[in-house]
Amino acid sequence: MSSRSTCRDERGAWENRRPVLVDGLRELLPDVIALQEAVVTDGYDPCKAQSFRIFRLFFQSTAPNLSPEGADVLETKNAMSEEQKTAEKRAVFDFEVDFSNGGGIQGQGFRLDIEGDDVSDEALADYIVRDLRLLMVKEVRVLNKRIVTEPHKRVAAAFRWPLDAESGQRKTPGQFEPPSERRNFVDLSHTVEDGMVTYRGLPAPVICDYLSHAESRKHYAEGTTFQIGKVEMVANTGTYLDSPFHRFADGDDVAGLNFSSLAELRAVVVRVTGMSGRAVERGPVAAALADFDVRGKAVLVHTGWDVHWRTERYFEGHPFLTVDAARYLAGSGAALVGIDSLNIDDTDDDERPAHTVLLGAGIPIVEHLTRLGLLPLTDFRFSAVPVKAKGIGTFPVRAYASLG
């Protein structure tokens, strides 16, 4: 069933809504189409403009009353012919970003939809900064750029009603979700693999089949197979979270942590990449957070040390948080503290002062994060939820950030 017929089936429900001047709003159809094309080609944020409010008013008020011609125009605008797809171009490129406060990030093999046959390096650089919401950018270098013929990925008929997962039909305007309300996710976790060493002196995980697809054939119908895995590992493996019980015998274990300290936390990044020395002192941390209220937020310390992951260098001379910096974060009301390093403490200090201060204040710690350089300084949410395991102080997490 088409979106047009679905809307017509909803006529009775829509007619109970307040009366509207259908004929007058129908005249806005060309403006709606122009707005749709602007979003597709320019990445325009419709929710921040009056024109988008007109767009939503148009659809929510007149969807069941659109003339066949009007509905067909929208379908035609959203549909892409094979000729159009084969004519579409995308830029494939690498990039390097330097920050004015030190450090930087790199990206390889990025693909971007473009209009026309070419795009300037300057335009790509502006797009990277805007799309990743980067601040304090000193320089952006675009490398190895090439233009390929490939169907666009972001056209996504941004304003077509999305398909309902259960019915397979397009959602009605009342269920419409504006593009700016959708989120982009950044994976901040290392992949856990068989034989991988996270922390020197701790055993590597053993990951294998308990029941393989081949072995399961005898248990199920023809053509039906399953795999059941078996994992043997210490809890300090990969990217993991420390609960207070990790340091204190009477502290909350992993199962005792609340979602308010694990999931969907508003977050800020402290960038200390390129610093001299290993210690992340209170001064740089306080300066980086001077414009932010970190109470109830996750604070992620970006050192850049994750570039050494799975190398011998990762275990030696890693950056760490000083006790004064830890006290500053605890006193500021941070809900969680993460770092992309081997340990939040200097492993040469057997007292582990940062662990003691943070976990003593009930603040979970996430260690061995990665790709923090892809995050903006703020305006995102952070999640790192472990298995609800009772009687254990640490556990691996799938840490991620959600932007938008």
pLDDT in tens, 162-188: 444 445 554 444 444 444 445 789 999
Give which of 57, 50, 52 is closest to 35, Cα–Cα: 52
d(C-alpha 253, C-alpha 59), whole Å: 51
pLDDT at residue 249 is higher than 60: yes
Give which of 299, 258, 218, 288 is closest to 388, Cα–Cα: 258
CATH assignment of 240-403, among 3.30.470.10, 3.50.30.50, 3.30.70.270, 3.40.50.720: 3.50.30.50
In angstroms, what CA-CA distances link 278 with 115, 263, 319, 348, 380? 46, 29, 4, 12, 27
Choose from 90-104, 111-125, 237-251 the range with maximum mean pLDDT: 237-251
Contact 399, 369 (CB under 8 A): yes
What digits encode the pLDDT tens for the residues 344-359?
999 999 999 999 999 9
Q: Mean pLDDT across the stretch 300-328?
A: 97
Q: Mean pLDDT across the stretch 149-154?
A: 76
Q: Mean pLDDT across the stretch 71-76?
A: 46
Q: What is the pTM of this model?
A: 0.59
pLDDT at residue 29 is higher than 60: no
